[in-house]
Amino acid sequence: MAAELPNGVSREKIWDPGLRLFHWTLAVCVSGAWMLGHFGPNVMTLHFYFGYAVIVLLGFRVIWGLIGPGPARFSHFTYGPGATARYIARLGKRAPSYWPGHNPLGALAVFTLLGALMVQVGAGLFSDPDDYINVGPLAGMVDREANRTATWLHNRMAWGILALVGLHLSAILFYRFFKREDLVTPMIAGWKLVRRDRSE
């Protein structure tokens, strides 16, 4: 197996168990909350629970981004415009990236998605759709106008998040079929083929 690996490429443990569990739980909770929001019963109790779970998960991700294992840390995947531009320039190359963690472009997607989810759960907490049964738990802390803005934002952001998730899945497919790099298995097993020497 190891003999078949290209020169300079090695199999390394990249994603720790906490991060992997976070990723898949987040996927389930965001999908669940989204589906319940659009197709669920009028009494949205379960949607609220999924939303609270997303808040907890985002909290975990922020902590993990600050003190977690290497590749999970924000500092590990914060790249400047130069590195990002160089990565984009080689994106069309039909070969695996062998990137040891979030690549510069993927990192942008990660930050955008986490930010969007923070806005979304934040808006949900202050939302009041005037039905007296699905009122955000913090809606009473702000005025009616703010409730309405939060509801408006929450409804709009749902589509933004759908678009970001679509982009995320498209990127996975792009890597899988165009660049011939499997990014799903590493997020399940933790191991990934990486190249440390990027001087080529």
Partner 1 sequence: MRKTLIAALVVAPVLAHAGPAEDTVAARQGFYKLLGANMGILAAMAKGERDYEGAAAETAANNIVLLTTYNLGHLYMPGTSSAEIKGSRAKPAIWNEFTEAQKKADALFEAANKLTEVAGFDKADMVDALEAVGGACKSCHDNYRED
Q: Which residues bind partner 1 (CB under 8 A)?
A: 41-43, 129-135, 148, 151-152, 155-156
Find where tokens 């415009």 sit. Answer: 81
CB burial of residue 163 (10 Å; 0-12, 13-18, 19+): exposed
Q: For residues 129 and 160, which CB has a smaller minimum distance to partner 1 in the complex?
A: 129
Q: For residues 43 and 184, which CB has a smaller minimum distance to partner 1 in the complex?
A: 43
Q: How far is the CB of 162 from partner 1 (least distance, A)?
A: 17
Q: For residues 31 and 130, which CB has a smaller minimum distance to partner 1 in the complex?
A: 130
Tell me how far apart the alpha carbons of residues 96 and 93 are, in angstroms, rounded to a whole number: 8
Token pair, residue 188, equals: 């399940």
Q: How far is the CB of 135 from partner 1 (least distance, A)?
A: 8
The secondary structure of residue 35, as a DSSP letter, is: H
Tell me how far apart the alpha carbons of residues 93 and 97 are, in angstroms, rounded to a whole number: 9
- Name beta bridge partners: 198: none
Q: For residues 143 and 200, which CB has a smaller minimum distance to partner 1 in the complex?
A: 143
Q: How far is the CB of 129 from partner 1 (least distance, A)?
A: 6
**Quick check: 156 and 37 in contact, CB under 8 A?**
no
Q: How far is the CB of 153 from partner 1 (least distance, A)?
A: 9
